[in-house]
Amino acid sequence: METFYEAMRRRGVSRRRFLKFCTMTAASLGLPPAMVPEVARALETKPRIPVLWLHGLECTCCSESFIRSAHPLATDVVLSMISLDYHNTLMAAAGHQAEEIIAEITTNHKGRYIVAVEGNPPLGDDGVYCIVGGKPFLHQLQEACRDAMAVIAWGTCASWGCVQAARPNPTQAVPVHEVIRDKPVIKVPGCPPIAEVMTGVLSYILTFGTLPELDRQGRPKMFYSQRVHDKCYRRAHFDAGQFVERWDDDGARMGYCLYKMGCRGPTTYNACSATEWNDGLSFPIKSGHGCLGCSEKDFWDRGPFYNRLTDIDQFGIEKNADEIGAVAAVAAGAAVAGHALVSAGQRLLQKRGSDDDNA
């Protein structure tokens, strides 16, 4: 199998551009400049890793994001880098021809290929809610993952379930790690994940031949170890207590913190505030809208998106902790006042009774 460098040269990329690319890749992985030759050597010598990119219940926003990656370079470079052998929306093959690719890769590259999953399998009614090539997606996923080196769960669907797994989850969609238990699953959540994060994870695996260090939830530490809030450029306004109180108020125009507007930056682990989107152009908070927490588990069920405090609907009513607590506190206060009144009355009566006895 040809190396990444050979594939790049075949596509007319100059050596100079190749080395630039290696520098960008090293930088995006947080490696020191001395590691650039390592990256170049790896890409020159190692065979490209075959990647099977499967699609379950999803909206293809992960793919859309992925093909807009700026660092490492855009589409053709990334596509040649990883030898993307199967990808419903990008491959030329169709029908049986396409499905044969999976069989070919899984038999000829046992233990040396990666399965990247976009979306997730619905388990309800034997999986009929997502049929790929005439079979439930779950079967395709399990077959493809059987001899994989690792599984990458692209996006919040594959990582946590996302919108199709939100209550009441009618199709019983489950994240990938709940059905693939014998392979390392790297979660790259986000709806979609940041393009540079996706390509960064892949280029790390290609460069070092090992999986990146993961946090307790299975997310690559290099991109998901900090919250959006921790690196937010509006953080100074948060610390100062300067908030947007209403859309289009003065604070909104001044770029104040969106915390009171329900921004989920303080509870969302992602690299948005560091790498930003579309080649570093912007990210939601920079555009004046709070973070929705799209890379977090069950973020659809942690609404409302425009309130800081989450609604608790376990009691059958939509109230947040403060509303429940305040009602309980007022009720307790009223109970105490009533109780005190009755106590005082009773005491008064008793006293009068004992006075009468004495008289």
Partner 1 sequence: MTGQPDLPDTQMESLRGAYVYETPVRLWHWINALSVVVLSITGYLIGVPLPTTTGDASEWYVMGWMRFFHYVSAYVFTIGLIVRVWWAAVGNRYARQMFYLPIWRRSWVSELLYQLRWMLFAERRSMLYLGHNPLANAMMFTLFLIPSVIVTITGFAMYAEASGHESWQYAAFAWFIDLWVNTQDLHTIHRLAMWVIVLFAIAHIYTAVREDIMSGQSMISTMVNGERLFKGRGVIKR
Part in contact with partner 1 (CB under 8 A); list of ranges 19-27, 192-200, 204-212, 241-249: 241-249
Rounded to a whole number of angstroms, the CA Rg of the chain reads 28
Whole-number Å distance between alpha carbons of 207 and 22: 10
From CA 207, how far away is CA 27, in angstroms rounded? 13
Is 170 near partner 1 (CB under 8 A)? no
Q: At what angle do helices 137-145 and 95-108 cross, to 10 degrees?
A: 30
> Which of 93, 103, 317, 328 lies at the binding interface for partner 1 (CB under 8 A)?
328
349 contacts partner 1 (rule: CB under 8 A): no
CA distances (Å), 229 to each of 155, 283, 293, 317, in order? 20, 13, 11, 30
- For 243, the token pair is 């908030």
Looking only at the bridges linking them, the beta strands covering 51-55 and 135-136 are: unpaired
Least distance from partner 1 to the Cβ atom of residue 349, Å: 11
Task: State which of positions 280-319 bind partner 1 (CB under 8 A).
Answer: 293, 296-299, 302, 308-310, 312
Q: Is 60 exposed, middle or buried (0-12, 13-18, 19+ CB in 10 A)?
A: middle
The CA distances from residue 283 to 63, 109, 240, 291, 311, in Å, are: 18, 39, 22, 9, 26
Q: Give the one residue of 5, 53, 154, 259 binding partner 1; rule: CB under 8 A.
A: 259
Asked whether position 238 contacts partner 1 by CB under 8 A, the answer is yes
Instruction: Tell whether residue 320 is a contact of partner 1 (CB under 8 A).
Output: yes
**How far apart are CB 321 and partner 1 at their closest, in Å?**
4
CB of 317 to partner 1, least distance (A): 15
241 binds partner 1 (CB under 8 A): yes
Residue closer to partner 1 (CB basis): 41 or 253: 253
- Asked if 339 interacts with partner 1 (CB under 8 A), we say yes
Among 321, 341, 348, 349, binds partner 1 (CB under 8 A): 321
Q: Is 242 in the site for partner 1 (CB under 8 A)?
A: yes
The amino acid present at 236, given as its one-letter code, is A
Rule CB under 8 A: choose which of 4, 223, 243, 283 binds partner 1: 243
Rounded Cα distance between 5 and 201, Å, is 18
Which lies closer to partner 1 via its Cβ, residue 88 or residue 310? 310
**CA–CA dist 158, 56 (Å, integer):** 8
Separation of first and last alpha carbons in the chain: 112
CB of 297 to partner 1, least distance (A): 4
| Of the candidate residues 119, 192, 251, 265, the single one contacting partner 1 (CB under 8 A) | 251
Give me the torsion for CA of 311, 314, 317, 321, rounded to 10°. Answer: -40
Could you give the CA distance from residue 48 to residue 7 in angstroms, rounded to a whole number?
9
For the segment 172-231, give every residue that binds partner 1 (CB under 8 A).
215-217, 221, 225-227, 230
Residue 162: phi and psi, rounded to 5, are 55, -150
- Residues in contact with partner 1, counted by CB under 8 A, come to a total of 53
112 DSSP 8-state letter: S
Write down the least CB distance from residue 324 to partner 1, Å: 7
The answer to whether 169 contacts partner 1 (rule: CB under 8 A) is: no
Catalog residues that contact partner 1 under the rule CB under 8 A.
160, 215-217, 221, 225-227, 230, 236-245, 250-251, 256, 259-260, 264, 267, 293, 296-299, 302, 308-310, 312, 320-322, 324-326, 328-329, 332-333, 336, 339-340, 342-343, 346-347
